[in-house]
Structure 1
Amino acid sequence: MKHAIEYSVGKYKIRINFWFLIIFLLMQTLLNELGFWQLNRGKEKRVRIEQLELGGVVAVKSLVGLTNRQIEQFQRVDLLMKLSSEDIILLDNKINNKRPGYHVLNVAKDEQTGKNILVNRGWLFAGNDRNQLPDISLPAKKWKVNARIYPIQQESISTAKAAIEKHGQVYRLPVLDHQVLAELEKLTGLKLEKYLLRLDKDSQSALAVNWMWTNMPPEKHLAYAFQWFALALAFLIVSVIVCIKKR
């Protein structure tokens, strides 16, 4: 049984091995899929940046009639809130300037709508001993919140291994998604919205605030896409050279 196709064109002989052809098709598919995936990611990042710009034009002073569109575009808000409890929530594994730390969250109630919302105050150094929790002061009971809305992701990759640690009135979370949020609701006895508020750096009770709204600029995704497509083209050229020989 032949394992290759051979035919001649002028003074050249073309020989294509079946197994090589299969590998070639698989590699071309993989490299091009990676390129298109990077293009799509770049498009998503451009959309997010546009949403950030739209949501930051005017700050809303009421959550009455808040729409999903406003949530998705990270709407800027100026709200008068009050603490719902003295619980402190630490979102673990947050790095700032190569130092490990937490995002510090408190639950506050919007005075107009009565909604309980997690307010992310920013980053705090975890200290050198993980068993020793940092000292954290509470915001004022009446809290003037200047922030932007940030949707809580539906599912995290590590949710299956996520376990909430409780130390008195301090909760330490490995991740925050809808599943972990539901567990937190059971522990605190509070109904929580599926979005949080990220404080502006000049807002009351803000800690170290340096929010990353996108983990990579769109231009970098385009550069990666170009690399994958260039590899696909290079592999095509090498494959042609390998298959064509002079008689």
Structure 2
Amino acid sequence: MAEPRTTLSWSLDWKSLLAIAIALPLLLRLGFWQLQRADEKQQLLDAATARRQQPAVDIQSLGEYPNYLPVYVEGVFDSQRYWLLDNRIRQGQFGYEIIALLNLADGGKLLVERGWIAADASRRQLPELTWPEGIVRLQGELYRSTEQPFSLGEQLPEAWPRRQQWLQPERLETEIDGLLPTVLRLHEQSPAALRTDRLLINVSPQKHRGYALQWFAMAAVLAGIFVVRNSNILALFKGRSDRGEKL
């Protein structure tokens, strides 16, 4: 006599239904957001690579200042006015990122990121810097961050040099006449360059894709648990397995 066939049936639990209705879209959204971030990072890497392959141009010939464009410039450093960006860590060592001010021949001024320098662990004494004398020719690439710095109401110092957490170029443009709306990141071979090993991006596209896979995997596991808890699918599989053993 043929055994009756068992069909898939559901017995929905409102608690698990509510949980998956909230959690599943969130997990999927996080996964797709990570994929979007991966695409954005890849586009940034491609643009940076393409621009870095271009020959360096005179910064004073530019009408706009795209990030990662190789440039050169001549000017005189203002050795009295510069910034020490605080809490910059390299290989576990505390230090500062040095931002200098370069006076150009036409009266304009340019922010120059000289690089990183180690600091006194006690934070009592600022590092001593050396400065090229007279007119110098600098080479590097343009970079101005588009991210808004996080601040807890930091009081910006008035005296020079200024030690602070972040630089706010928009604010400096109102304070310093003729300041160009960009920052020159020095190449390591350029005069006045300090330690210039910089990360282009903090998280690679591959890592973002890995994070996306994790979110999608969690969504798949959650969906599987929901199906098992709210249906007779396990009984169906067990029944088929038992019939197969009898045959």
Give the alignment's TM-score, normalised by structure 2.
Answer: 0.84
Matched, 1:176 2:172: no
Structure 2: distance between partners of 1:103 and 1:207: 9
Contact (CA 8 Å) 1:100, 1:125: kept in 2 or not? yes
> 2:63 matched to which residue of 1?
66
Quote the sequence identity (%): 25
In structure 2, do the counterparts of structure 1 residues 200 and 175 end up closer, same or farther at CA, with 3 Å as the change threshold? same
Deviation at 1:67, TM superposition (A): 2.5
The superposition leaves residues 113-165 of structure 1 with CA deviations (integer Å, 9 ceiling, x where unpaired) of 54311100000111111121111122333121111100133522x23423323
Contact (CA 8 Å) 1:122, 1:208: kept in 2 or not? yes
> 1:6 matched to which residue of 2?
none
> 1:75 matched to which residue of 2?
69
Deviation at 1:13, TM superposition (A): 3.9
Contact (CA 8 Å) 2:83, 2:163: kept in 1 or not? yes
Partner letter of residue 128 of structure 2?
D
> 1:135 matched to which residue of 2?
128
Partner letter of residue 182 of structure 1?
R
Matches within 5 A, 1:4-83: 10-57=6-53, 58-68=55-65, 71-72=66-67, 74-83=68-77
Partner letter of residue 241 of structure 1?
V
> 2:241 matched to which residue of 1?
none
Contact (CA 8 Å) 2:86, 2:96: kept in 1 or not? yes
The superposition leaves residues 194-233 of structure 1 with CA deviations (integer Å, 9 ceiling, x where unpaired) of 3211100010011111011111211111111111111111
In structure 2, do the counterparts of structure 1 residues 120 and 103 end up closer, same or farther at CA, with 3 Å as the change threshold? same
**Which consecutive residues of structure 1, in runs of 5 or more, have no partner in the other structure?**
1-8
Q: Name the structure where strand makes up a greater proportion of residues.
A: 1
Task: Tell me which structure has the larger Cα radius of gyration.
Answer: 2
Structure 1: distance between partners of 2:89 and 2:130: 21
**Length, aligned pairs only:** 229
Matches within 5 A, 1:229-240: 229-240=216-227
Structure 1: distance between partners of 2:164 and 2:180: 17
SS of 1:151's equivalent in the other structure is: coil
The superposition leaves residues 72-94 of structure 1 with CA deviations (integer Å, 9 ceiling, x where unpaired) of 3x101121122256212111111
**Which consecutive residues of structure 2, in runs of 5 or more, have no partner in the other structure?**
237-247
Partner letter of residue 78 of structure 1?
Y
Out of 89, 95, 98, the residue aligned to residue 101 of structure 1 is 95
> 1:5 matched to which residue of 2?
none
Structure 2: distance between partners of 1:50 and 1:115: 31
Contact (CA 8 Å) 2:37, 2:205: kept in 1 or not? yes
Contact (CA 8 Å) 1:92, 1:102: kept in 2 or not? yes
Deviation at 1:182, TM superposition (A): 0.7
> 2:155 matched to which residue of 1?
163
